[in-house]
Amino acid sequence: MPAGVNQDVMRVGCLVAGDWRTDGPTADRTGPWTRTVVTTARQAGDDDVRDALAYARRGARAVARMSPAARAAVLDRAAAAVQGKRDELARLLALELGKPVKDGRGEIDRVADTFAVAGAEARRIGGEVLPVAGWPRGVGNTALTHRAPVGVALSITPFNAPANLLAHKLAASFAAGNTTLVKPPPQAPASSAAVVALLLDCGLPPEAVQVLHGEGAVGAALCAAPEVGVVSFTGSAATGAAVARAAGAKRLVLELGGNAATIVCADADVAAAARVCAATGYSNSGQSCISVQRVYVERSRYEEFLDAFTREVEKLTVGDPLAAATD
């Protein structure tokens, strides 16, 4: 866990070549509810990027040599361990992001599920036998495919669900036998570092992950590095375009938000629809790619829905994200 987690300011280092580097330039994160500095994170420089890339290139071999069973065992342990840190991690999310603890606990539950799913997938990775004998020239021959790790993956994670989306990227990458460079969001350095620290405590080898905090220049340098074989990014469309330009001819996995529509039909249970739309439209202050963003209601039920929806929104509690009742 980040140093000083029970103190006023959490101090977070960059994880480079197996060591948490804390000396050097830092950037402060001001909590949106407390309006005070809650996190100070060591910022990666050119030397950190260079060292991380060299270590990742060497470490990729060690991670690829791990058996699927060994990788799955690490992820299974992490899935169990994260539940024991549920309240602590939710508190970090509340302090850094203003995310209500009830939402934060839900996010940590998803982290546990993600680790478990990734562990299961590590055991399932394989190739396939191709039906070449179905053609005369293929008779007597066997063709098969084999899936191999890319080597070095770069994960650039967003602020709105920093723990869960880090788990999505890092756990999947490790399950497939890759080493991963993590570029967390500046808004959630401690939350991100805590997830990585938990994985390391559960047996994730140091060669499998490095963490570099910083602004866009750090991400651009990592995207452009020839050592990186695939870039996974979640964020805005504009930043996704910048990631693609910096990465060049690399594999890209880009999730660039959403514009989710909800349709309330004439035969709908309007009261139930209003409850769901209020809860999922305002959860995490609406800062989710799958939140309710547009609602289309059949004209004959519009006034009824609007009244019910307004009442449901008025029931939501606004306040200290550390308070259990806050929505």
Domain assignments of the chain as residue spans, ordered by start: 10-128+147-255, 261-314
Q: Could you read off the pLDDT of 131-149 as tens digits, one per residue?
A: 999 999 999 999 999 999 9
Is residue 192 within 8 Å of 163, Cβ to Cβ? Answer: yes
Q: What six digits make up the tokens of 224? A: 């452009």
Based on the residue annotation, tell me whether 255 is a catalytic residue of this protein.
Answer: yes
| Strand 152-156 versus strand 37-42 pairing type | unpaired
Q: What six digits make up the tokens of 313? A: 């929104």
Q: Could you read off the pLDDT of 223-272 as tens digits, one per residue?
A: 999 999 999 999 999 999 999 999 999 999 999 988 889 999 999 999 99
To the nearest whole percent, how much of the chain has pLDDT over 90?
93
Q: What six digits make up the tokens of 293? A: 């963003």
Can you tell me the distance from the alpha carbon of 221 to that of 156, in angstroms, rounded to the nearest whole number?
A: 12
Cα 91–chain centre separation? 17
Can you tell me the distance from the alpha carbon of 186 to that of 178, in angstroms, rounded to the nearest whole number?
A: 24
Can you tell me the distance from the alpha carbon of 91 to that of 324, in angstroms, rounded to the nearest whole number?
A: 11
Strands (E), 114-178: 129-130, 143-144, 152-156
Which residue of the set 88, 121, 227, 289 is catalytic? Answer: 289
CATH superfamily of domain region 10-128+147-255 = Aldehyde Dehydrogenase; Chain A, domain 1 (3.40.605.10)
Which residue of the set 121, 227, 255, 304 is catalytic? Answer: 255
Based on the residue annotation, tell me whether 215 is a catalytic residue of this protein.
Answer: no
Beta-carbon contacts of residue 309 (< 8 Å; ≥ 6 apart) = 274, 277, 278, 295
